[in-house]
Amino acid sequence: MIGVAVSGGMDSLVCVYLLKEKGKSVCGFHALFVEPTEKSTYIKNKLVEHFLEANIPLYILDLREEFKELVIKPFIDAYIKGLTPNPCCICNKKIKFGVIWEKAKELGVEGLATGHYACKKIDPNGIPMLYRGKDLKKEQSYFLSLLDLSQLKIACFPLGEYTKNMVRREIRKRVLAVPSQLESQEVCFIKGDYREFLKENVKNLPPPGPIEDTSGKKLGEHEGLYAYTIGQRRGLKIPYSEPLYVIKKDIKRNVLIVGPKRELKSKKFCVKEMNFLLDFSKWPKEVYVQTNYRQAPKKVFVKNKNSFLEVFFEKEEKPATPGQIAAFYTKDNRVLGGGVIFDEELQ
């Protein structure tokens, strides 16, 4: 039997039917991550009705405590440290293919499917490989780059060869009523601005401090380093002859460093806590990296320093943001692995 993690949206629902129509025995898993709202309760109830009508088992999992401990708490801790985390990557690794998979295994489930637009292939030695999905505007392999080989082995991505428009056609073809019409959010547990979320959930946020230019001249005061991210322009509240951008956070000194756009550039960055989907010794010479989901892949040269990777751009680029995930690819879109971006000067 294959379990399908279902949110209530069209992507995961289509996965259920694609697998069932291929003759697979399927069941659904719908997880509760935060305190229920009227909308989330409606989605859950509609899913229960839908699965009953389709005669497919559906398991409702209350994972509020696990989600708080494994996703929300590290998210808050990272911002307090001045980092910019990516909770979706962590959720996929520790919740979907972690906690949910462990509970699914207890029920005899042999694999776990999700509605991610990504492809999985098997090499001649039986090793699973992760690739970008067919729909390059929608594909989500970046968010899966922290899955290890054991997790990838049991993973199933039925939408890998589908585009979003194809999925919409599958929904219409089956006349399915989709409980949730919303697209997946990057941070599902936050409604609105993350700064307000932090203010509501953290008693003692990091204090304000100086804003300096790259020469060390003080230009103003910041509200706390958690409230800014690399490349940010709006909200600096500094009168200047040209637009200013966040260049760097000096966490040790609690200083926000800003400058004009021409100074928003970097030649390299570092990545720790690497998850290798292919042994580094087998990486090709031509490697590409994404340092956030929306970014176009950049060609890089990578050095393995044993405890971390040192990554060099071909030309100067916008600095990579500490705390975010770097996903590495081959020219033909295979995911080589992923890890956490860090600033070696602050380690």
CATH number at residue 227: 2.30.30.280
237 and 280 in a single domain? The answer is no
319: which residues sit within 8 A by CB, 6+ positions away? 230, 231, 247, 248, 264, 265, 266, 269
Ramachandran assignment for 23, one of left (phi > 0), alpha (psi -120 to 50 degrees), beta (any other): left
For the chain, the domain total comes to: 3
Q: Are 283 and 336 in contact (CB under 8 A)?
A: yes
Q: How far apart are CA 320 and CA 310, in angstroms?
A: 12
Give the predicted TM-score (pTM) of the model: 0.94
Residue 195, in any domain of the structure: no
Among the options 27, 91, 156, 270, which is catalytic? 91
248 and 311 in a single domain? The answer is no
> Averaged over 231-247, what is the pLDDT?
93
Question: Residue 165 in 3-state DSSP?
Answer: helix
Domain boundary among 263, 292, 311: 263
Q: Output the domain CATH number for residue 271.
A: 2.40.30.10
pLDDT tens per residue across span 105-163: 999 999 999 999 999 999 999 999 999 999 999 999 999 999 999 999 999 999 999 99
> Averaged over 71-75, what is the pLDDT?
97
158 and 23 in a single domain? The answer is yes
Residue 131, in any domain of the structure: yes
Domain boundary among 123, 150, 174: 174
108 and 146 in a single domain? The answer is yes
Question: Residue 156 in 3-state DSSP?
Answer: strand
For all residues of the chain together, what is the average pLDDT? Answer: 94
> Averaged over 216-232, what is the pLDDT?
95
Domain boundary among 263, 284, 312: 263
Which residue intervals of the chain are DSSP H helices? 10-21, 38-54, 64-67, 73-80, 87-91, 101-106, 149-154, 164-174, 194-201
Task: Tell me the residue range of the domain where 245 lies.
Answer: 206-263
pLDDT of residue 346: 54
188 part of the active site: yes
Question: Residue 11 in 3-state DSSP?
Answer: helix
Q: How far apart are CA 341 and CA 322, in angstroms?
A: 5
Structure token digits, residue 342 = 């860090």
pLDDT of residue 121: 97
Q: How far apart are CA 261 and CA 36, in angstroms?
A: 43
119 part of the active site: no
